Amino acid sequence: MAPMQFAIGDRLRLRKKHPCGSFDWEVVRLGADIGLRCEKCGRRILLPRSEVERRVKQVLPRLAPSEIDAFDEE
Ligand SMILES: [Zn+2]
């Protein structure tokens, strides 16, 4: 399987739940380690790229600016 490509701003759903209850993370840093920010509690973690690839269950669609606006109105 080809290595996964990540970009800043990508949203990832991991197999393992964060203690806050969220599965969804945003990529905030790239390198040998990938920086992820929990979308629910905002906590940041660093994981080795190989670990991230193993834990990703699904790559989520990015939010379009119009969708972000819609969330703000709720
Ligand atoms: Zn969290």
**Tens-digit pLDDT profile for residues 10-69:** 999 999 899 999 999 999 999 989 999 999 999 999 999 999 999 999 998 877 666 555
What protein residues have CB closer than 5 angstroms to ion ligand 1? 18, 20, 22, 38, 40-41
Domain ranges of the chain: 11-73
- Tell me the whole-structure pTM to 2 decimals: 0.78
For residue 34, list its beta bridge partners.
47
C-alpha 22 to ligand 1 mean position (Å): 6
Strand blocks (E) in 1-74: 11-14, 24-29, 33-38, 44-48, 56-60
